[in-house]
Amino acid sequence: MIFLDHFITSLRDEVRIIKILPPKVKKRVELGLLYSMPPISWSNISYYENQVLPLLLKHKVIQLNRTDARLANNGLPGEIQKLRCRVNFNALRFTTQIEELGRMIVKVLREKRPFLALHLRYEMDMLAFSGCAHDCYSKEEEELTRMRWI
């Protein structure tokens, strides 16, 4: 519950988040009567405004299955992109078990020195595709934007 509270508190000035569905909607969800759809990858904001929002208004709840972070992040209004970054890097937290495992791994690595960390799936454009440029200089931000268009 602490993670949920942190998430809601982190975003309270940006979006309205509810912990409990209204009774009528909750009943429909419990009965499995909810609209389910996979969002289209690399969709721009007009897809969400013109396709997803009308469905959300109609059904009140939409289950987005097989979702990913592939909302296109070039051409988004700045306030939307900043919200995405706040969600990804401030509002979401690792569970206590994952944090503890991370601390344990770092402790072992520091004790056994030296070590090399290699991320086998690291790609040069990972930061670019996060769409976040917090603390970047304007030249760096331009380069990240350019990389997303490649």
Q: How many domains does the chain have?
A: 1
Is 116 within a domain?
no
Write out pLDDT tens, residues 101-130. 999 999 998 898 887 777 666 565 666 666
Is 77 within a domain?
yes
- What percent of the chain is helix, strand and coil (3-state, nearest 5)? 55, 5, 40
Is 133 within a domain?
no
Amino acid symbol at 12? R
- Identify whether the C-beta of residue 38 lies closer than 8 Å to the C-beta of residue 65: yes
CB atoms within 10 A of CB 144: 19
Q: Is the pLDDT at 70 greater than 60, yes or no?
A: no
Q: Is the pTM of this model over 0.75?
A: no
Is 123 within a domain?
no
Is 22 within a domain?
yes
Is 137 within a domain?
no
CA 14 from centre of chain: 15
Q: What's the rounded mean pLDDT across residues 135-148? A: 78
Residue of 57, 91, 88, 58 whose CA lies nearest to 71: 88
pLDDT value of position 53: 93
